[in-house]
Each structure stands twice: as structure tokens, then as C-alpha cells.
């Protein structure tokens, strides 16, 4: 698989929707994740810290109409696991893994979002730390080519990630009406060592009109220490 430049991927797509990145820094010292949200209509949101994770909240609560698909916790931490998703399935994964189910099993209780005709895919990722290293998985639950009668489920698992490599999955192939769901495997991209520079690259590459919020986290594989950055347009 060809390694793609994440800045070019984002600059050449005005509306990838919501996106998850997971990988390993080039120096091999950090597990890395990033999550961004965009909006054509629902731009009234910001990321805020919430315990070890983050949640979305309305920038202007007076303008919030339907919070069901836009107010949620994208990032939660369960023991050695960091869960990142584009909806309230974060809570599903957290609760069911706490009861002993796997990442994949917990997501079998969910499907794509009920926002026809887009039927936005639910995308999810998980980092599982282990002695001095980690594994990660990514999932997408999507309608069957826009048909909501069937749910197509895909899980991609990456053991012993290679330094400097990561994967990027997002909800939409590009802008459109209806919005076309992501297709194929998560994209192979490079992961740098510097969290601040990586965050800046992602933020400046996202479409200026549509970008809303970005979260980036670097987890030190030696001691588990976490360094995070949030950027909100509002």
C-alpha cells in the first residue's frame, strides 16, 4: 500500500467529514491518535477535555437544536485502552469492553447513523497498550451502498505497528448529496515525532470553511504519559 501524505489527502478533499488517525511516531516512542470533525451545517461545536478523554459541546447552547448525533464523547480511556470514535458508540465500546467483550463484539450492537439519505458511517478506533508497545484496530459500520436495510461491518487490526506509520479513516469519500461513505481500507500515512507540528499540519490542511475541531494525542510507550492538544475553530 502506498504511503500517502496526510496534508495532501486533506487539502484535496473539501469534506472528508469526521476522521480518525492512529499510528506510531517515527522515533518509535509514541502511540499517536488524532480525531477531527467538520460540518456543513452543524458547526456549533467545540472539543473540551473530560477526564482522561474529550467530549463535544455546543459553542452556543442557544442555537443547539438536535444534539443526538453531534454531542458525545469522542475519546475515552479504559485501563490500557484509548477509544476514539465519531459518535456515542464510544460509550458502547467502553461499557461492553468493561464487561469483557471485545472491540469488535461491542460494535456489533451498533450500526451506521440514522441520518438518511447520508447514513453516515460509524468509525471507531482503539489503541491497546502492552509492555513497551501497542496494537490498534479501526472499524467502520456503513450502509450497503446507501441502502439502510443492510449494515456492512469492517474491522482492521494492526499488530506491532511500524515506527512512522499510521492509518487514516474518515466518514465520507468527498462532498456530495447524499454524502458518499468511505470505501476501502484505512489509508496508510506517515506519523511524525512532533505532536505540535502534526496538529498544525492537520489543522491547516483541513478545509477552512468546513473544519470545526481537532484533537491530537501522543502516548509515551515507556511510561504511559499522555500529551494532548485541542484546536477549536470557535
Q: Is the Cβ–Cβ distance between 36 and 17 less than 8 Å?
A: no
Q: Is the Cβ–Cβ distance between 112 and 150 less than 8 Å?
A: no
**pLDDT at 65 (0 to 100):** 81
Share of the chain above pLDDT 90, in %: 93
Q: Which three cell numbers stand for residue 18?
A: 469526521
Task: For the chain, give every domain's residue range.
Answer: 6-232
Q: Is the Cβ–Cβ distance between 174 and 180 less than 8 Å?
A: yes
pLDDT tens column, 119-159: 999 999 999 999 989 999 999 999 999 999 999 999 999 99
**3 state DSSP class of 198:** helix
| Mean pLDDT for all residues in the chain | 97
Check whether 167 has a pLDDT greater than 90: yes
Q: How does DSSP assign 3-64, residue by residue?
A: PBPHHHHHHT-S---SEEEEEE-TTS-EEEEEEEEE-SS---EEEEEETTEEEEEESSGGG-
Check whether 204 has a pLDDT greater than 90: yes
Name the more confident of 68 and 144: 144
Helical (H) or strand (E) element with 84:
strand 81-85
User: What is the CATH code for 6-232?
Assistant: 3.60.20.20
**pLDDT at 124 (0 to 100):** 98
Read off the pLDDT of each residue in 14-27 and give the average, rounded to a whole number. 98
Check whether 70 has a pLDDT greater than 90: no
Spacing of C-alpha 155 from chain mean position = 14
Confidence of residue 69 (pLDDT cuts 50, 70, 90): confident
pLDDT tens column, 77-94: 999 999 999 999 999 999
d(CA 102, CA 71): 25
Locate all alpha helices (DSSP H) within 103-221, ordered by sequence.
103-107, 195-205
Confidence of residue 8 (pLDDT cuts 50, 70, 90): very high
d(CA 47, CA 143): 28
**pLDDT at 132 (0 to 100):** 87
Helical (H) or strand (E) element with 85:
strand 81-85
pLDDT tens column, 87-130: 999 999 999 999 999 999 999 999 999 999 999 999 999 999 99
In this predicted structure, which of 57-66, 192-201, 209-218 has the lowest mean pLDDT? Answer: 57-66
Q: Which three cell numbers stand for residue 80?
A: 490500557
Read off the pLDDT of each residue in 33-47 and give the average, rounded to a whole number. 94
CB-based contacts of 207, cutoff 8 Å, min separation 6? 10, 13, 14, 15, 38
**pLDDT at 162 (0 to 100):** 98
Amino acid at each position: 500500500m502506498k504511503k500517502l501524505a496526510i496534508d495532501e489527502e486533506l487539502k484535496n478533499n473539501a469534506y472528508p467529514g469526521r476522521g480518525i488517525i492512529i499510528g506510531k511516531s517515527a522515533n518509535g516512542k509514541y502511540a499517536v491518535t488524532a480525531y477531527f470533525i467538520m460540518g456543513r451545517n452543524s458547526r456549533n461545536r467545540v472539543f473540551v477535555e473530560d477526564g482522561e478523554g474529550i467530549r463535544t459541546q455546543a459553542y452556543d447552547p442557544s442555537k443547539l437544536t438536535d444534539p443526538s448525533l453531534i454531542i458525545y464523547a469522542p475519546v475515552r480511556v479504559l485501563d490500557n485502552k484509548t477509544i476514539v470514535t465519531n459518535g456515542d458508540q464510544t460509550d458502547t465500546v467502553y461499557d461492553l469492553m468493561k464487561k469483557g467483550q471485545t472491540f469488535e463484539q461491542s460494535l456489533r450492537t451498533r450500526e451506521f447513523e440514522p441520518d438518511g439519505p447520508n447514513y453516515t458511517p460509524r468509525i471507531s478506533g482503539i489503541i491497546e497498550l502492552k509492555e513497551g508497545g501497542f496494537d490498534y484496530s479501526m472499524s467502520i459500520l456503513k450502509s450497503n451502498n446507501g441502502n439502510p436495510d443492510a449494515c456492512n461491518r469492517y474491522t482492521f487490526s494492526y499488530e506491532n505497528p511500524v515506527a512512522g506509520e499510521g492509518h487514516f479513516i474518515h466518514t465520507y469519500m468527498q462532498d456530495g448529496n447524499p454524502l458518499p461513505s468511505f470505501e476501502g481500507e484505512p489509508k496508510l500515512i506517515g506519523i511524525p515525532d512532533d505532536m505540535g507540528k502534526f496538529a498544525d499540519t492537520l489543522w491547516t490542511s483541513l478545509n477552512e470553511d468546513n473544519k470545526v475541531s481537532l484533537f491530537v494525542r501522543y502516548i509515551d510507550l515507556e511510561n504511559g504519559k499522555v500529551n494532548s492538544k485541542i484546536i477549536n475553530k470557535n
